[in-house]
Structure 1
Amino acid sequence: MGSKVLKVNVFFCIFVSFFFSCQVMAIEEPKFKILVDAGELEIRSYDEYLVAETGVEGSFDTASRKGFRRVAGYIFGENKNSIGQSEKIQMTAPVTVKPDNEGWVLHFVMPSNYDMSQLPVPNNSGVSLKKIEAHLAAVIIFSGFTTDSKIQKKTEELKAWLEKQNFEIAGPQQIARYNDPFTLPWLRRNEIIFKVTAKN
């Protein structure tokens, strides 16, 4: 009996992960073109996009949790639109975290059907709206968990690859995660991203 229950639970977890992974793959992401494709390593040209972001202190994991709850609250209705009503905003991918001074900044990308004047105003003063200008980015894609050691390893791999390319780093690393917590590690899509500029 116990083994049957275990098999059912394992199957259910796999099904839930597969379902949510498919859902995540279908949701909107920032628009970009791939300029250099080297498998898990890419140079991309991003269009401009809008984000809702918040600054958080603490460790990477602590900041990720606190920041996620804060910005998720904004898109789930903790806001006021132009007629003073709460408005739910569609979830997009990825959720991105980057170091900033002594803390972190976490942001959600806003759906492309909004411009800055159409986005509702956050109720929480810790959430702000910002436009990210069009830019070039170097990216390394990987699966699994975003542990400190994994982030460091992949960041070093990306930097080593960039040394051989005609681009240079123009900003801090960003850790981008595309999946929900139900997704099995080997099905997850994570990225380390650096804004870059072309070398003269």
Structure 2
Amino acid sequence: MLSRATKAITAFAGLLSVTACSILGSAAAPEPDYSLALAEPPFELRDYGELVVVRTTVNDGSRAAFGRLFDYISGANSGAREIAMTAPVLNTDTANGAKIAMTVPVLQTQEASREMVFILPDSLTLDTAPAPTDPRVSLATIPPRRVAVVRYSGSMSKRASAEETRLRNWIASKDLTPAGPAEVAGYNPPWTLPSHRRNEVLIPVKRD
């Protein structure tokens, strides 16, 4: 039986071959669909539909949380099913520059109960996604939302705070109202050259 580390390496190797991901910046995995409400590069206003996610707390650290979620998509679920990865990495800890080791569908919150979240493929719903076998892991949905986005390259975490400030200034200039914490998104694997990385800061905003 393959170890979790071997499965992780195999999964990422498969993503590389399918998406031609390289050090020059190809995307790591499929992304959730969205519609574009406004584009003023490097800023955008996007509308996302409902997202189905699998989540766990990060009380015992990001690596442990990542391991539980990776186990879920590797078959630690009621159907023993392997579930495809999507992108980007999302992290709401812009102030502390938190890092996640691998580029996978992750959202990490800094609320009272911190969580890490994998976004599941569009083909799965809350009813059709297999139930986790680990009681510390659960399924949930992120409701449809509008987000303001700024895109940048280089280090995802080191520039996040400055890019959040820039995005908040743009939001204010458009008379938009923030509706949630900022999230940092990375779309490339860690070995991508910094100058070729696609990073984003996203802030949910109220719809008109």
Q: TM-score, normalised by structure 2?
A: 0.74
* In structure 2, distance between residues paired with 1:67 and 1:146: 20
Show the counterpart of 2:57.
Answer: 55
Deviation at 1:100, TM superposition (A): 2.8
Q: For the residues of structure 1 that align with 2:24 and 2:141, how far apart are their CA atoms? A: 28
Change (3 A) 1:103 1:35: same
- Matched letter for residue 55 of structure 1: T
Instruction: Show the counterpart of 2:68.
Output: 70
- Tell me which protein shows more helix as a share of its residues: 1
Pick from 87, 92, 99 the counterpart of residue 86 of structure 2: 92
Partner residue of 2:128 out of 118, 122, 129: 118
After superposition, the CA RMSD in angstroms is: 2.3
Whichever structure has more strand as a proportion of its residues is 1
Which residue number corresponds to residue 39 of structure 1? 41
Corresponding residue for 1:180? 189
8 Å Cα contact 2:180/2:205 also seen in 1:
yes
Letter in 2 for 1:79: N
Judged with a 3 Å threshold, the aligned counterparts in structure 2 of structure 1 residues 23 and 188 are, in CA distance, closer, same or farther, namely: closer
Distance between the aligned counterparts of 2:47 and 2:57, measured in 1?
26
Aligned to 1:141: 151
Note the C-alpha offset of 1:135: 1.1
Rounded Cα–Cα distance in structure 2 between residues aligned with 1:172 and 1:40: 20
| Percent identical | 29
CA deviations on 1:54-80 (whole Å, 9 max, x unpaired) are 22148xxx63x4433332221111222
Q: Displacement of 1:182 after TM fit?
A: 2.2
Task: Name the SS of the counterpart of 2:69 in structure 1.
Answer: helix
Amino acid at match of 2:46: R
Taking structure 1 as the reference length, the TM-score comes to 0.76
| CA separation of 1:28 and 1:17: change in aligned 2, threshold 3 A | closer
- Unpaired runs of 5+ residues, structure 1, are 1-15
Which residue identity lines up with residue 40 of structure 1 in the other structure? P
Which structure is larger by alpha-carbon Rg, 1 or 2?
A: 1
Q: Which residue of 2 aligns with 1:196?
A: 205
Gaps of 5+ in 2: 1-19, 93-108
**In 1, Cα distance between equivalents of 2:37 and 2:81:** 37
Equivalent residues of 1:20, 1:180 under 8 A apart: no
State whether residues 151 and 198 of structure 2, in contact with CA within 8 Å, keep that contact through their aligned partners in structure 1.
yes
Q: What letter matches 1:38 in structure 2?
A: E
TM-superposed deviation, 1:172 = 0.9
Counterparts of 1:43 and 1:125, CA distance in 2: 37
**Structure 2 CA distance for partners of 1:50 and 1:189, relative to 1, 3 Å:** same
After superposition, the Cα gap between the structure-2 partners of 1:17 and 1:46, relative to the gap in structure 1 and judged at 3 Å, is: closer
